[in-house]
Chains A and B, each alone.
Chain A
Amino acid sequence: MSEATKSLKSRKHRLASSFIQLKVLNDNGHSNGEAYSFEGKLHAAGHYPLKPLKTEILQVNIGKMCNQTCRHCHVDAGPDRKEIMTREVMQQCIDAVKNSDFNTVDLTGGAPEMNPDFRWFVEKLDKAGVNIIVRCNLTIILANPRYYDLPEFYKTHNVVIISSLPHYSARRTDAQRGEGVFAKSIQVLKMLNEVGYGMDGSGLELHLVYNPSGAYLPPSQESLKKDFKRRLKSDFDIEFNDLYAITNMPISRFLDYLIQSGNYDAYTDKLLEAFNPLAIDGLMCRNTVSVGWDGYLYDCDFNQMLDLKIGDKAPLHISEFDEEMMLSRTIITNQHCFGCTAGSGSSCGGEIA
């Protein structure tokens, strides 16, 4: 179940192509024969064309390199991926942040820490006075002695840490993220608690992300958070701040899993049936701009992986960032967007409706 996998790209898998992924996603109606489209749903809800509301968060994907190869990864990240952001592009991100309303920079990957300029980037961002979020996969901190001091480094720069822990049971976590990941994650959560992360009154925020280890939707965030708090405390004496429940998007490796396991039709039907128009206001793409490792701009990290670039005529690059133009753009949507509007909705910050 939890065999180590390689990236789709290194396996030369057909789903490594964003074109094929979009083709698969668009070939399909509801299995009851009804045709549907996300655009159609937006129209019906009076939200077409979809527009941004503000530029609040710049989410920067600083590379696809990762020490893990999780089965559901929408980035198709892994140790075999070499694409990482250069210092030059990082500087362009800093300039864009200084000249605009962004108050938060959200660093993601891959494992963002594997980029050799990661610490330089965090220090510069801290100097620029923005809130910094790092999407840390936890295990990276144990992957090499040069990462052991990361908890202290994060503390120094008051970084908000957001980490995946799909379950408080080892079996469900390892099934998704790889053998042994749960035990290491627990060890790192303890290290983070030790420097103050997740502890009452420390001001150091540690949030966990739950996403289903299979072809089903997440539960309500609140009740799950209570379970996680109770179990992590009683089993491991671990504390954390918030829990975000995130839906798995039917793209990249999770799309491959859905097709391989025969769950694709049922899962996409489920997303469609759970469409909730109330989630549209909180969609991540409405307050976030996403930057790829090479500096190109996207409406969100998912669009980035599907290569749906912002820009009417030519793809737009962070070096030409223009806030006004950004606010007047039309967000590019496609069938994968149903993953953001199912049930209570889903964003990088969990439920949105």
Chain B
Amino acid sequence: MGKPYYIEEDLFKFGNITEFQPELGKKFFSYYNAVFEEGALTEREKALIALAVSHTVQCPYCIDAYTTASLEKGADEEQMMEAIHVAAAIRGGASLVHGVQMMNKAKEISM
């Protein structure tokens, strides 16, 4: 058995990406941290958006991190699951809305 591609501990090494390219890495993290500060949206709202997006990009690190962050920012299970349904609805909707394209093409080439 080889090592798995995703290793839980690697989440905590995220900051180490500056090792290979410090300047861009630092810029990224300073931007990243600024994004999640309380602004027009609360920290809790931002954590829930991040949780939904995590499920869309299907990143296990992000899902771990923003499940914890959502709880830490005061969200509850219902809010978190609703956020994921928003992601799922957009994903499903994004597939289905292309059905119109399929219909257009089908009609175009059909008698």
> Using a CB–CB distance below 8 Å, which chain A residues touch chain B?
167-169, 171-172, 210, 212, 214, 216-220, 223-224, 226-227
Give the interface centre of B43, B73, B74, B78 by most chain A CB atoms within 10 Å: B74
Q: Return the chain A residue nearest B47 by Cβ.
A: A219
* A227-B44 contact given A172-B76, A219-B73, A219-B74, CB 8 Å threshold: yes
Chain B residues whose C-beta falls within 8 Å of the C-beta of A168 in the assembled complex: 76
Question: Can you list 26 contacts pairing A with B, beta carbon distance less than 8 Å?
Answer: A167-B76, A168-B76, A169-B76, A169-B77, A169-B78, A171-B76, A171-B77, A171-B78, A172-B76, A172-B77, A212-B72, A214-B71, A216-B68, A216-B71, A217-B72, A218-B72, A218-B74, A219-B43, A219-B73, A220-B38, A220-B43, A223-B43, A223-B74, A224-B74, A226-B42, A227-B44
> Using a CB–CB distance below 8 Å, which chain B residues touch chain A?
38, 42-44, 68, 71-74, 76-78
Q: Return the chain A residue nearest B38 by Cβ.
A: A223
* A223-B42 contact given A212-B71, A216-B68, CB 8 Å threshold: yes
Chain B residues whose C-beta falls within 8 Å of the C-beta of A214 in the assembled complex: 71
Chain A residues whose C-beta falls within 8 Å of the C-beta of B77 in the assembled complex: 169, 171-172
Min CB distance, B83 to chain A, in Å? 15
Is the beta-carbon distance between A223 and B44 smaller than 8 angstroms?
yes
Is the beta-carbon distance between A216 and B72 smaller than 8 angstroms?
yes
Contact among B38, B68, B72, B74 with A227 in the assembled complex (CB-CB below 8 Å): B74
Chain A residues whose C-beta falls within 8 Å of the C-beta of B43 in the assembled complex: 219-220, 223
CA distance A212 to B74 in the complex (A): 8
Contact among B72, B76, B78 with A219 in the assembled complex (CB-CB below 8 Å): B72
Give the interface centre of B73, B76, B78 by most chain A CB atoms within 10 Å: B76
Closest 9 CB pairs of A and B: A169-B76, A219-B73, A219-B74, A224-B74, A216-B72, A172-B76, A223-B42, A216-B71, A217-B72
CA distance A169 to B76 in the complex (A): 7
